[in-house]
Amino acid sequence: MNTVRDAERTGSELDDIEALVRTYRARLLRFVTFSIGDPDLAESITQDCFLKAYNGRASFRGDCSVNTWLTSIAVNLIRDQQRLQKFRFWRQARATAIDVTEAASFLPSNECSPETRMLVRERAQQVQAALGSLSDKQRTVFLMRFMEEMELSEIAAATQMPLNTVKTHLHRALKSVRAQAGTSR
């Protein structure tokens, strides 16, 4: 009986596009922006994601959370965009990418000294540079895990990859980022 109520609640959640956008837009936009590095294109992809979700809401089976379903749609839209742009896309994205070091400077903290903030910005620059060298799949899995704090099973569902493949991509991404950023663990 709870399953029927959950399905009805999820169905009504998907029917109210304004509430859906209010609830999930910021998280989805952040994921897409960090995935592709172009804020303008990320806005377009995020809008397309909500339009696609709203138009396809009848096909939502409830096998996963709405957030996971939306992320899955976004991943597919990002893949489509990458196929269209190929390597040219990343050259343009580097020129217009959000500077992660600027984002790090906006993090509120009364406890951090200027020196600590500078070190955090430097580390963020190193991680950003390392992300640029990852494969698309490694970068997607890394961002979903550490930026969106998604569970591995959610990542597998969103990317439509087997769980072990997700683990492999995450392991390789971590190894590469740690090596390039000079961190060990």
Question: 105 and 70: one domain?
Answer: no
Write out the residue range of the structural domain in which residue 84 sits. Answer: 1-98
Question: 42 and 64: one domain?
Answer: yes
CATH number at residue 172: 1.10.10.10
Count of domains observed in the chain: 2
The predicted-structure confidence for 24-69, as pLDDT tens digits, reads as follows 999 999 999 988 888 999 999 999 999 999 998 888 888 888 899 9
Question: 10 and 85: one domain?
Answer: yes
The predicted-structure confidence for 91-114, as pLDDT tens digits, reads as follows 565 666 666 556 555 555 556 677
The yes-or-no verdict on residue 8 having pLDDT over 70 is: no
Identify the helix (H) or strand (E) that includes residue 62.
none
At which of 98, 124, 139 does a domain end? 98
Question: 53 and 134: one domain?
Answer: no
At which of 98, 131, 152 does a domain end? 98
What is the rounded CA–CA span in Å between residue 149 and residue 158? Answer: 13
Question: 16 and 48: one domain?
Answer: yes
pLDDT at 86: 61
Question: 122 and 88: one domain?
Answer: no
pLDDT at 7: 43
Question: 62 and 2: one domain?
Answer: yes
Angle at Cα 125 formed by Cα 42 and Cα 47, nearest 5°?
A: 5
Question: 57 and 78: one domain?
Answer: yes
Structure tokens given for 91: 């050259």
What is the rounded CA–CA span in Å between residue 51 and residue 4? Answer: 25
CATH number at residue 90: 1.10.1740.10
